[in-house]
Amino acid sequence: MVKYKLLGMHCDDMRFRLNVVKAEPQTKFEVKPEFNRQIKKNKDLPKRRIVEITVKMVGTEKNPMPFDVGIRMSAIFELEEEIWLMEDEREFFDDATRLMFPYLRTAVTNLTAAAMINPIIFPPVDTALLFKEKQPNPAE
């Protein structure tokens, strides 16, 4: 088990854009969020990790939406010990994502509510199901 502490978390970017879409008053739009995450290492601080998670909901020609939403959040973690095994890195990455995801959900709900549209509320989910990559790719 990887031991770590959260040093800080913040929202790097929150965007909401209203799109002009011609539609009937009761038209239902399919919202398809895209989730991404990445982990960053610093060569000078081997026990430090920065985890970034993002969500985007952007309309396309095929699937128009009345709005676009994008949110990016980052968190800085300090590991108790340096990680040497890839499965330990993966375990940490999954734990960090689980810790951050409720804040991302809340940010989406608050942003859409502040824009005076029906708020988008993501259900609680196991974040392992949202992210398809098998191994983290620590960027140096």
* Domain assignments of the chain as residue spans, ordered by start: 4-130
pLDDT at 67 over 60: yes
Higher pLDDT: 55 or 126? It is: 55
As a whole number of angstroms, the distance between CA 33 and CA 55 comes to 6
Say whether 20 sits in a helix, a strand or coil: coil
Least confident piece of the model among 28-32, 108-112, 136-140: 136-140
**112-134 pLDDT, tens per residue?**
999 998 899 999 888 877 776 64
To the nearest 10°, report the CA torsion of 45, 82, 86, 105: -70
**What pLDDT score was predicted for residue 36?**
94
Secondary element (H or E) of residue 68 = strand 67-79
**What pLDDT score was predicted for residue 137?**
55
- 86, 30, 35: which is closest to 59 by C-alpha? 30
Question: Quick one: average pLDDT of 62-67?
Answer: 88
As a whole number of angstroms, the distance between CA 47 and CA 7 comes to 12
**8-52 pLDDT, tens per residue?**
999 999 999 999 888 788 888 888 899 999 999 988 999 999 999
Topology, domain 4-130: Bacterial Protein-export protein SecB (3.10.420)
